[in-house]
Amino acid sequence: MAKLLIVEDDEAQRFLYHEELVEEGYEVVLAKNGKEALKCLEGALFDLIILDIRMPEMDGIEALGKIASRYKKIPIILHTAYPEYRNQSIASLAGAFIPKSSDLSLLKKTVKELLERKKQRKEKRR
């Protein structure tokens, strides 16, 4: 079972993502901001991170830089309501950029695809 870290400041969205992704068969850990996400990463291994951008304490852009430099093998999905961040150079550190939507099918599909790519890279190294 893949373990996901969801970093989202909106409580209702965190709950929704948790429920939907647990239903898909993933183990899900939640963080309210980038600072909490970094603490979670210190104590556990994750297969994928879903990261919001605009959050208090430490936003997703700052967190993305720190996470990508320390945990290079964990795919990251930037999931935000602000498409203008797609053009920032740091956004290229993420494996995918998905605009927020009430329809989570694209998010679920992208999670599955990135985890599959990660698995294939791992198998090639064997």
Q: Which residues contact 30 (CB under 8 A, 6 or more apart)?
A: 5, 6, 8, 14, 18
Write out the chain's pLDDT in tens, 126 residues.
999 999 999 999 999 999 999 999 999 999 999 999 999 999 899 999 999 999 999 999 999 999 999 998 999 999 988 777 777 777 788 989 999 988 999 999 999 999 999 888 888 777
Edge-to-edge strand list for the sheet holding 48-51: 27-31, 3-7, 48-51, 76-80, 96-99
The two structure tokens encoding residue 93: 């550190």
| Alpha carbons 60 and 104: distance in angstroms, whole number | 20
Is residue 22 within 8 Å of residue 93, measured between CB atoms?
no
Radius of gyration of the chain (CA): 13
The pTM assigned to this predicted structure is 0.92
Contact 74, 48 (CB under 8 A): yes
Q: State the pLDDT at residue 86.
A: 73
Note down the domain range covering 33. 3-125
Q: How many domains does the chain contain in total? A: 1
Strand partners, 68: none
pLDDT of 80: 87
pLDDT at 7: 98
CATH of the domain at 84: 3.40.50.2300
pLDDT value for 89:
72
Q: What is the pLDDT of residue 88?
A: 74
